[in-house]
A and B are shown apart, each in its own frame.
Chain A
Amino acid sequence: KAGVTQTPRYLIKTRGQQVTLSCSPISGHRSVSWYQQTPGQGLQFLFEYFSETQRNKGNFPGRFSGRQFSNSRSEMNVSTLELGDSALYLCASSLGFLAGTDTQYFGPGTRLTVL
């Protein structure tokens, strides 16, 4: 079974631009979560989508948004890029169970550099 895929793997943007990152979950998984990883703050949760609805949200400004499509694929968008948005953006998918364990599996990440 194919793992979580993320595109693009690397991206360079300039301040003020916007960017869209894509994530394809493991087949059959309905939940997609996004995380940001920086050297200073470590791995931080951005948001989770399940059945096209945002189910959980971390403490990030409104410039960070996401959506999920009916096939469970997800995109995240960052508008008005700042230098501090340079990070590894990780997507994780899971079955999305509301009870019991629900293991998240991560993709390889998208490395975003803002100049």
Chain B
Amino acid sequence: DAKTTQPPSMDCAEGRAANLPCNHSTISGNEYVYWYRQIHSQGPQYIIHGLKNNETNEMASLIITEDRKSSTLILPHATLRDTAVYYCIVRRDGGSQGNLIFGKGTKLSVKP
């Protein structure tokens, strides 16, 4: 089972920031938080990941609370192309842990 809890859906106005929350209250010290998104019927796209510090890249920012029990993915200026299902995944480090466990994710709808 997925170790994360996300709201099933969210709306965001185009041009505004989209803030997608994720709860992972049972996260362990060696587990990372990964975010992927999937646009309808395409392969999931990697967005960002982090351990305990906030992270930023060209796509998004990841804010992880100090106790690491929750995080927020921020898309600073959402566009219509950001409409997708967003998955928050907790994963142990190390390649041999292999698989990503996907939950149901959050369906983000960006509206004009």
Contacts and interface: CB of A to CB of B under 8 A. Distances in A.
Contacts, number: 73
B59 interface: no
Interface string B71-112: 000000000000000010000011111111111100000000
A16 interface: no
A101 B49 contact: yes
B45 A103 contact: no
A39 to B, nearest CB: 11
A100 B93 contact: yes
A103 B102 contact: no
Contacts of A109: 41-43
A105 interface: yes
A50 B34 CA distance: 21
Contacts of B96: 55-56, 98
Interface string B4-22: 0000000000000000000
Point out which of B34, B43, B93, B96 has the most chain A C-beta atoms below 10 A from its C-beta: B43
B93 A99 contact: yes
Contacts of B97: 56
A95 B41 contact: no
For the complex, would chain B's binding face be called helix, strand, loop or mixed by DSSP majority?
A: loop
A87 B98 CA distance: 21
B98 A45 contact: yes
Contact residue range for chain A?
Answer: 20 to 34
B99 A90 contact: no
Contact of B94 (A88, A92, A102, A104): A102
Contact of B43 (A42, A98, A108): A108
A106 B94 contact: no
A43 interface: yes
Contacts of B102: 42-44
Interface string A70-98: 00000000000000000010101011111
B94 A99 contact: yes
A56 B94 contact: no
A4 B46 CA distance: 13
A110 B87 CA distance: 20
A31 interface: yes
